[in-house]
A and B are shown apart, each in its own frame.
Chain A
């Protein structure tokens, strides 16, 4: 069935380090792909999205590229900040619903 697999956390990085959070999906058809972020005490908010193969979504220094051949949508940021500490969710969307991964907690320290 449809599913999203993302790397388990927590991920702990020093400020200005490079971030990668892996995400792969299994879905029929050609879904759209999303990264959502949840800051402490808040609901989820959309970070970026890509709607077709080879699209690159970007926002706030984060990037992810829709790789159809590897069914992946890995999240990257070149230099993380303490304010990026949050839980990151990979998701894909079809015409009927959104399917989320289990989330990856990122902790950035000074």
Chain B
């Protein structure tokens, strides 16, 4: 059974803290993605990576950075957490995109910044 695993289901952090969200996939996928999900806004792409050590900005990268040192692991970093980053964060992976490539999602991390 294919799997994308996010390290935490729920996190509570304080404003200004550095926050790491971890994601691991066991499907040997080239692509990995970080989305945030907010009511009424759907899924918005933060960053994606199409290879080890490669990264591309998505639609809302401000306030975030990413790291991909190994193919199976993709980390999202909030350098200095703010309350407007309270959200559900979803990690996904896929084979190299050809337009009809299915993405597989983790269960999500609900982050609350207080």
| A and B held together in a complex | yes
List, in ascending order, chain A residues with CB within 8 A of B4's CB.
Answer: 43
B99 touching A89, Cβ below 8 Å: no
- Are A32 and B105 in contact, with the CB atoms below 8 A? no
By secondary structure, the B interface counts as loop
For A, the interface residue count at a CB cutoff of 8 angstroms equals 24
Q: Are B41 and A32 in contact (CB under 8 A)?
A: no
By a CB distance below 8 angstroms, the chain B residues around A93 are 97, 99-101
**Quick check: B105 and A45 within 8 Å, CB to CB?**
yes
Q: Are A31 and B102 in contact (CB under 8 A)?
A: no
User: Hey, what's the 0/1 contact readout for A82-110 against B, CB within 8 Å counting as 1?
Assistant: 00000001000111111011110000000
Whole-angstrom CA separation of A95 from B97 in the bound complex: 5
Residues in chain A within 8 A of chain B (CB atoms) = 30-32, 34, 36, 41-46, 49, 51, 89, 93-98, 100-103
**Could you write out 28 A-B pairs with CB less than 8 Å apart?**
A30-B99, A32-B100, A34-B102, A41-B107, A42-B107, A43-B4, A43-B105, A44-B90, A44-B92, A44-B103, A45-B104, A49-B100, A89-B42, A89-B43, A94-B97, A95-B97, A95-B98, A95-B99, A97-B33, A97-B45, A97-B48, A97-B58, A97-B97, A98-B33, A100-B35, A100-B43, A101-B42, A103-B42
